[in-house]
Amino acid sequence: MIEIKNLVKEYNGVRAVDELSINISGGEIYGLLGPNGAGKSTTILMLTGLILPTSGECRIDGVEVSKNPIAVKKKIGYMPEDVGFYANLTAFENLSFFGNLYGLPQKELEDRCDELLKQVGLYGVSKTVGGYSKGMRQRLGIAKAQLNDPTVVILDEPTANLDPQGVSDYRRIIKNIAKQDKTVLVSSHILSEISKVSTKIGILQKGRLVREGSWEDFSSGIEMMNLSEIRINVETKDPMPEISHPKIISAEYKNENKTALITAKSDIREDISGFLYDKKIILKNLSLDSTTLEDAILTYYNTGVSES
């Protein structure tokens, strides 16, 4: 179980994590979603005891991390974004090496390595890790994170640069870990990769948790919004006209090339075209872009607009 309460981390007076509170129970897969710089890694580093919070606290199975860093490390399996392995050793040899650091008896260690390699589909693979694909390395990283039989597994950007097969393998493995009643925290800036596996998603922006809920909660909100990104290019000697419309959420105008990028609650191209026509402005281009779901979600929660 993970309990984060009023957690703050400041770097030179700037808050990277700002009054963050999250609770995650055993069996849950929590997806921490946020753009680059949102504070995901900083949160994870505090949870694993690698850096100290400025204020607030984190508890793992009830044990406070900053006061009991060694006890907590035994409970946590952590996979950083870039996992390091010995390229000239096999998966089994790598796991045995790292497992030795936990002081497990030899037979128990070998059985554990075999069991973990079976779980991640690398059992019996004889080639050395230097010849592995990114997906195979990630799977081995997930195995490594479980060597100490942790109750909490934390994975930082586990799907970065994985191919679709790699992502699907990763999802299956994560679900199996949670089935053992372990607590899983996964960070990502790609919604589609965590939405299908997470039992709960938290959206982090500028160090704050701006929204938390199930995937269903998020997707229904976004579907209702039906966000549209509209690109406009006009011909005018005057500055780019500001378009006012109740459905516009955000707009960026560029006077140099007379363009605008509008994010609206629905496709309002017809209204925009009418607005420009009334102002006698010649329209050179008016196109609709499909926003990615994560863009839509981040815009939605960034601006704090409601579905109404």
Ligand X SMILES: Nc1ncnc2c1ncn2[C@@H]1O[C@H](COP(=O)(O)OP(=O)(O)OP(=O)(O)O)[C@@H](O)[C@H]1O
**286 CB-contact burial (10 Å; exposed 0-12 / middle 13-18 / buried 19+):** middle
- Pick 190 or 286: Cβ nearer ligand X: 190
Quickly count: other Cβ atoms within 10 Å of residue 182's Cβ. 21
Q: Least distance (Å) from ligand X to the CB of residue 37?
A: 4
Site for ligand X in 148-207 (CB under 6 A): 189
Contact 22, 209 (CB under 8 A): yes
Tell me the number of residues near ligand X by CB under 6 A.
Answer: 11
In the chain, which ranges are continuous DSSP H helix? 40-47, 69-75, 91-100, 106-119, 134-144, 164-179, 191-195, 215-225, 269-278, 293-303
- Pick 157 or 229: Cβ nearer ligand X: 157
- Pick 39 or 77: Cβ nearer ligand X: 39
Q: Least distance (Å) from ligand X to the CB of residue 218?
A: 18
As a dihedral over the C-alpha atoms of residue 48, residue 137, residue 128, residue 112, rounded to 10 degrees, the angle is 50
Site for ligand X in 8-27 (CB under 6 A): 11, 16
Q: Least distance (Å) from ligand X to the CB of residue 16?
A: 3
- Pick 34 or 158: Cβ nearer ligand X: 34
Window contacting ligand X (CB under 6 A); options: 40-48, 91-99, 192-200, 237-245: 40-48
Q: Least distance (Å) from ligand X to the CB of residue 302?
A: 15
Window contacting ligand X (CB under 6 A); options: 18-26, 32-40, 69-77, 271-279: 32-40
Window contacting ligand X (CB under 6 A); options: 33-41, 63-71, 139-147, 222-230: 33-41
DSSP 291: P
94 alpha-carbon distance from chain centroid? 27
Rounded Cα–Cα distance for residues 263 and 302 (Å) = 13
- Pick 174 or 204: Cβ nearer ligand X: 204
Quickly count: other Cβ atoms within 10 Å of residue 89's Cβ. 15
The answer to whether residue 39 forms part of the interface with ligand X (CB under 6 A) is yes
The answer to whether residue 79 forms part of the interface with ligand X (CB under 6 A) is no
Quickly count: other Cβ atoms within 10 Å of residue 274's Cβ. 11
Q: Least distance (Å) from ligand X to the CB of residue 298?
A: 12
Give one word for 124, left, alpha or beta, with left for phi > 0 and alpha for psi -120 to 50: left
Q: Least distance (Å) from ligand X to the CB of residue 42?
A: 3
The answer to whether residue 139 forms part of the interface with ligand X (CB under 6 A) is no
Q: What does the chain come to in residues?
A: 308
The answer to whether residue 36 forms part of the interface with ligand X (CB under 6 A) is yes
Element (H, E) at 284: strand 282-289
- Pick 16 or 178: Cβ nearer ligand X: 16
* Sign of the torsion angle spanned by Cα atoms 180, 182, 183, 184: negative
The answer to whether residue 41 forms part of the interface with ligand X (CB under 6 A) is yes
**Which residues would be at the binding site for ligand X (CB under 6 A)?**
11, 16, 34, 36-42, 189
